[in-house]
A and B are shown apart, each in its own frame.
Chain A
Amino acid sequence: MDAEAAKLIGAGIACIGMAGAGIGVGTIFGNYLTGALRNPSAAASQFTNALVGAALAEGLGIFSLVVAFLLMFVV
């Protein structure tokens, strides 16, 4: 296989990892909304925690995106 083609396929495969981040962020905000609708008075104080959790989950997806960028533009 051509090395350039292999790089592009690898970058595409690496991006699949972002699906996990999507699931994670969706779970966090979904559960936050479930909790917030059950007890709206506690929602405001927990929004920061939801953001931190979403940021941590999203960061892992960004890692796979960075791997894809490395394959496309650096390697």
Chain B
Amino acid sequence: MAGGTTEARPRGGMKRRVYLVDGARTPFLKSRGRPGPFTPVDLAVQCGRPLLLRQPSVAEAIDITILGCVNVIADEVNPARVAALRLGLGEEMVAFTVQINCGSGMQSIETAFRYIQDGSADIILAGGAEALSHAPLVIRRDATDWFGRFSIEKSVRNKAKRLTELRPRFFKPIVGLKRGLTDPIVNLNMGQTAEVVAHLFSVTREQSDQYAVTSHLRLAQAQDAGFLKGEVIPIVDREGNLYEKDDGVRPDTSVEKLAELSPAFEKPYGQVTPGNSSQITDGASWTILASEAAVDKHRLAPFARIVDSQWSALDPSIMGLAPTLCATAMLKRNGLARDDVGLWEINEAFAAQVLACLAAWEDEAYCKEGLGLDGPFGLIGHDRLNVDGGAVALGHPVGASGNRITLHLANAMKRLGAKRGVATECIGGGQGGAILFEAA
């Protein structure tokens, strides 16, 4: 491992301080119904190259590379290792991929945080990458079975016989992404779980649409004001097309326009529409985490310090509420209350799901029985939540999103002078993850 001498490895459980020192991501590119120009590793390479260029001394001292990715494509089985080699990090770079579904990009940061905290490493490159537009078409199970039977036949006569068993439906592939977004335990699509939590906490269609509009306007404002400079780096595909910013943003959208859309998952009465859900996009994001010793040695300027992290889980059908579990537990453990947190990033899988979380935190019974608090956690004001927009406007490349919200939280804390921040997200399958930052 480059720079592998870990200074002052602590003994007996003393925990070291860990900093997020830099990070960069690609623009998030809306899926246009066919495979986009980049694979997950292409995306990781595109934003990793400029990040490593602007951190030359760090680039040479990285101990481990960790990448979150859910839909790994067949040509890039361990995308972390492929990306590390393509980034020129050297043959000796240890690299592994982590996967916890929608939380994978945060899992890489969390894993890096724990390694550095316990003294196993000093500098880790932790990222997330996803190319949802590359999600494979899956051959139907009965078609695969038929092909298996056909190919083991030796004689022409038997082959011909098998041919008569061929059915037209065999040629109709299943969109892998659709399967991936459906929970196999409760057989609910993610959008349907958002309908469930919206119902449980009385979130209305109008509230969701209003929230979605705000997300678009905030992202557009952040892009125009240059708040994403250095965080989002333009990329170029092989045909020479330039992608400079998240292209799902619609600053001209309005509650009226969104009201016209039909429900996407539960027709005709549902409220979750394509307009108030996160978009299907491709994107990648990297962060660099460093120990205090490494910060001093390389004279780095940290964005923020990672204080703690937490995973929690509940029933898959109400996965959207998981952020309330993990974030609350994490704050409780650190003796912090709602008002101690100046900035929040809650990943916008669905507008209704974010609003359900906010409502749950104000719900006395839920907070007492569900979260073990003495009373309601309280209202998280919109002025401190997803201040530069979220996945509804810029999309949710599942393996990258957790990395993006964490990086962006650190960036926004620096810009706004916030003392503490929490990044949290719901995870398909009924889980949630959270990270707590303190100003460096």
- Are A and B genuine complex partners? no
